[in-house]
């Protein structure tokens, strides 16, 4: 199978890197490697990378939501409701508008903002291509 690597090819493609662990962290590291990597430090590190990437995405989403709320309060004196906040987040992250019925139920100002977000995403995608 050309799309999949054998264990040997995977091992050869991997790069060995070194990092230091404080003596007081070694026991916890060994425990976590056993629990999450079945004793394999490389498997544990891959899992840790996946988990930390998900955490970083969640933190970016929180910042995006906080920014949206702050902008709304500053410009319109009110907070976004859950549907508005979800629609703006989805448009910002995935570049998607809500379904037509959902969109129609939103405040016209929010609808305009969603269309602006989508247009900005398309414009920035075109300039990076």
Spatial distance between the Cα atoms of 107 and 73, rounded to a whole number of angstroms = 15
pLDDT at 12 > cutoff 80: no
pLDDT at 107 > cutoff 90: yes
Tokens, residue 118:
């989508």
Q: Binning pLDDT at 50, 70 and 90, where does residue 105 land?
A: very high
Q: Binning pLDDT at 50, 70 and 90, where does residue 10 land?
A: low
Closest CA to 33 of 56, 6, 55, 21: 21
Spatial distance between the Cα atoms of 129 and 123, rounded to a whole number of angstroms = 10
Q: Which residues contact 122 (CB under 8 A, 6 or more apart)?
A: 95
pLDDT at 123 > cutoff 90: no
Longest CA pairwise span in the chain (Å): 61
Q: Binning pLDDT at 50, 70 and 90, where does residue 14 land?
A: confident
Kindly give the interhelix angle for 82-94 and 108-128, rounded to the nearest 10 degrees. Answer: 10
pLDDT at 5 > cutoff 90: no
pTM of the model: 0.65
Lowest mean pLDDT among 7-11, 26-30, 38-42: 7-11
pLDDT at 1: 40
């Amino acid at each position: 199978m050309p799309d999949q690597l054998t264990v040997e090819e995977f091992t050869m493609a991997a790069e060995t890197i070194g990092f230091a662990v404080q003596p007081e962290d070694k026991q916890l590291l060994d425990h976590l490697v056993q629990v999450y990597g079945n004793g394999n430090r490389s498997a544990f590190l891959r899992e840790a990378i996946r988990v930390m990437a998900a955490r970083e995405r969640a933190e970016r989403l929180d910042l995006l939501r906080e920014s949206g709320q702050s902008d709304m309060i500053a410009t319109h004196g009110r907070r976004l409701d859950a549907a508005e906040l979800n629609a703006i987040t989805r448009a910002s992250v995935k570049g998607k508008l809500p379904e037509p019925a959902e969109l129609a139920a939103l405040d016209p100002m929010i609808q305009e903002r969603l269309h602006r977000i989508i247009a900005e995403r398309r414009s920035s995608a075109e300039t990076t291509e």
